Chains A and B, each alone.
Chain A
Amino acid sequence: MTTESKRVEDVVKTEVPPLALPPTTYGPIAATTHVEAAMGERILDVRNFSVDYGWGENAVRAVDDVDLHLDRSKVLGIAGESGSGKSTLVYAITRLLRAPGVIKGGEARFNLGTDDDVEHVIDLVNASERELRSVRWSSISIVLQSALSALNPVVRVGSQFEEVLKAHRKDMSKHQRRARAKELLAMVGLDEDRLDRFPHELSGGQRQRIMIALALTLDPQLVIMDEPTTALDVVTQREIIGELFELRAQFGFAMIFITHDLSLLTELADEIVVMYAGALVERATARELYETPRHPYTLGLLKSFPPMHGERSELSGIPGSPPDLAHLPTGCRFHPRCPYAMERCTNESPPLVEIKGTDRSVACWLQVGDVGVAVPVELSRVSSSGNAPSGSFKEVTP
């Protein structure tokens, strides 16, 4: 266990003026590197993560045994409906969750980068407030859904940038801070005169751009986007996402993108995880998930978006409504709404397991390769091969 101070270099960026890095103190965390496997390109590794709301008998499990990982400069999409635990999960990982939310178990390791061949990894679950403060905003930043309530309504936009820089870049002069704020606004396509405005004087799209600029102020390695465009109309959404990806190409930050809009995620994420009632039900690359969904819930979600092309035909969506987390159904949590539910689904909860021969996972009894279980054709399509004749079922060879 070493307790000496470490200076952590941010990943060197072009375009950005060299900012003097604050002397950041990490406690004994660097030592964990030697004990566990090196994270390498992996920036975030979450294992067996569980979160409850409340204590004792009344506790409600909002996130149940979730595994996640994200590589540097990649985009991970988390899809799910309201109440699926997607926001709770990231708030808990970043330790922003307040009581009655409690982390009940699991680990979340964040890789701060390699310095002199020593990997700096912080264990977010056990980190002290002091350690967290040095990571927040400068290494992990977050963009919240409602920009109007996330921005301080009585403080001009410019001062909100100032505040961040004052706290994290103590050696910057007032002039430098102002220059940095102007530069950030230019990055998201806003005029610098917006710095002197109050949040209510800006449109929804402008406010969300300010939120993104604020999140990028300290050049983070990971940006978490919690439904950043849900309150905006599609045209503004398209524009903001376009800008966001230009910035990502320039600065190379990794991103976790949370939304209920699976078609949007398919366009922008490298990998997608689908959450239902607090648990992961499917993980795959964006393209695979869209073209060849394996979980009935994913399929149902994909079919819940009316198409923009082709003949109009009646779509069914998913019958019923999401379960109450305090009274989860037995067995698979999706079985009461699942058109393919079998007897086993009502008794046993399926684990999230890797599908043989692929690097994708699914939590469904249909996909475990049992002999005699017929997998419906829509859940066993082969990638990009078009539609197999409908109505036929094919046997899965174990």
Chain B
Amino acid sequence: MTDATTTPVQLEARHLTRNFSVRTPGRIRNARHIVRAVDDVSLDLIAGQVVAVVGESGSGKSVLARMLARIIKPTSGDLVLQGTTIPIKTKRTLAYASQVQLVLQDPFASMNPVHRMSHNLLRPLRIHGASKADAPGLAEAALRRVSLEPPSRFLESYPHELSGGQLQRVSIARALCIEPKVLLADEPISMLDVSVRLGVLNLLRGLCDDDRLAILYITHDIASARYIADSIIVMYAGQVVEQSRGTSLVDEPTHPYTQLLIASVPDPSDPTRDVPPTGEHTQIAVAQKGCRFNPRCPHVMDRCRIDEPPSFIVGENHTSKCWLYADHEVGVEVALSTRRREGETATT
């Protein structure tokens, strides 16, 4: 906890990029091309804050989470954990894993089905150095943190005996039992029943507020991002296209992709709203010039097909990677300005 007050930034990602080499579809054998799954993404995960990453499937958001968890090695870029730069080309260490934990989308697939919850929970504790005598108590405490009462009942049960919502809580407890500082949640609610989703979101928010965890919340559901997050990042084709602190990105979207995304969300309170024309997302190779959204963009200009836009400042702590805002100042990353603000409040 002392770490959290002196260095609020728990995990920094600097210009993370990951390329994948994939076979070119078609008849030519062995023809390969590079897909830039994540392209130059920087973000800060701050104690007591939720950062939401929103994007459609294929936008690179899960690859980003796995790079932050060091399951996938970045092609280039830096990771800084609590002020220490991590050598990205080496294997993940136990020390890193004890600080940064990942919760996956499918709770049924992320638990060993032939073992009781006690096994699933005690194993990480033992690996991370808890003694045999302490481990059960810590596991029970972790289950209480995610509101699974009484913990003894859940420790005794098998994965198939629990509902999706309960299992997802157990997998959050499993991530929390070793007291990490950063929690990476990759679509934690998309497999859950509608009626239990909010419970898990409220749990994450509570962990963030009460225990000063730094949370990365990855989702395709922008409404849930607006509900839970302190800052929101929208990714498209591996790049951050818009980001804002607070909800200004949802309330006043500036990037044409964000506008399209928001207009597409079913919203019975406003059935007459205009939805901009769309086009389907296709995988984008490195070779594409200009803005990656240009083939689908309703406002496309000649410039968009030639030059890639930088991020422009379109509001307070709000940037947009679009040439429509070329008369605005080129932005310092919002993440950095967030950190400054957090630093100021920490010193006062």
Contact = CB atoms under 8 A, between A and B. Distances in A.
Interface of A: 81-83, 201, 203-206, 233-239, 242, 260-264, 266-267, 286, 290, 300-301, 304-309, 312, 314-319, 321-322, 337
A201 B271 CA distance: 35
Interface string B274-302: 01001011100000000000000000000
10 contacts: A82-B164, A203-B282, A235-B281, A263-B267, A267-B268, A304-B194, A306-B198, A306-B224, A314-B202, A317-B198
B195 A300 contact: yes
Contacts of A304: 194-195, 197-198
Contacts of B220: 233-234
Interface in B236-285: 247, 250-251, 260-271, 275, 278, 280-282
Interface residues of B, number: 43
A183 B155 CA distance: 58
Contact of B280 (A83, A239, A262): A239
B233 to A, nearest CB: 16
Contacts of A83: 193
A242 B250 CA distance: 23
B262 A308 contact: yes
Q: Please list the 8 inter-chain residue pairs (A to B) with the smallest Cβ-Cβ separation, ordered nearest first.
A: A317-B198, A306-B227, A233-B56, A266-B268, A318-B195, A238-B264, A264-B266, A81-B193
Nearest to A305: B223
Contacts of B260: 235
Nearest to B191: A82
Contact of B196 (A201, A305, A321): A321
A317 B164 CA distance: 15
A290 B247 CA distance: 25
Interface string B183-212: 000000000011111110110000000000
Nearest to B246: A312
A290 B196 contact: no
Contact of A234 (B25, B196, B247, B261): B261
A266 B223 contact: no
B222 to A, nearest CB: 8
Nearest to A313: B227
A235 B199 contact: no
Contacts of A204: 57
A317 B196 contact: yes
B165 interface: yes
Given A305-B223, A307-B223, A312-B247, A235 B193 contact: no
A204 B282 CA distance: 11
A237 B140 CA distance: 42
B194 A81 contact: yes
A264 to B, nearest CB: 4
A239 B266 CA distance: 12
B33 interface: no
A321 B57 contact: no
Contacts of A308: 222-223, 226, 250, 262, 265, 267
Contacts of B280: 203, 205-206, 236, 239
Nearest to A314: B202
A244 B334 CA distance: 40
Given A264-B266, A315-B227, A322-B163, 19 more contacts: A203-B281, A206-B280, A234-B56, A234-B220, A234-B222, A242-B275, A260-B193, A267-B271, A304-B195, A306-B198, A308-B262, A312-B227, A314-B202, A316-B198, A318-B195, A321-B196, A322-B193, A322-B195, A337-B195
A290 B269 CA distance: 9
Nearest to A235: B264
A193 B248 CA distance: 43
A321 B193 contact: yes
Contacts of B199: 317, 319
Contacts of A306: 198, 201, 223-224, 226-227
B101 interface: no
Nearest to B257: A235
A239 B197 contact: no
Contacts of A203: 280-282
A357 B268 CA distance: 25
B202 A234 contact: no
Contacts of A286: 268
Contacts of B261: 234-235
B171 interface: no
B159 to A, nearest CB: 15
B166 interface: yes
Nearest to A239: B278
B194 A234 contact: no
Nearest to A263: B266
Nearest to A234: B264
B46 to A, nearest CB: 19
Contacts of B223: 305-308
Contacts of B226: 306, 308, 312
A318 B196 contact: yes
A319 B165 CA distance: 11
Nearest to A241: B266
B54 to A, nearest CB: 10
Contacts of A236: 56, 278, 280-281
Given A203-B280, A233-B220, A315 B198 contact: yes
A82 B268 contact: no
B115 to A, nearest CB: 22
Contacts of A290: 268
B257 to A, nearest CB: 9
With most chain B CB atoms within 10 A of its CB, the pick from A83, A203, A262 is A203
Contacts of A319: 199
A266 B271 CA distance: 9
A260 B194 contact: yes
A2 to B, nearest CB: 48
A278 to B, nearest CB: 15
Contacts of B227: 306, 312, 315
Nearest to A287: B268
A181 to B, nearest CB: 21
Contacts of A305: 194, 223
Interface string B78-114: 0000000000000000000000000000000000000
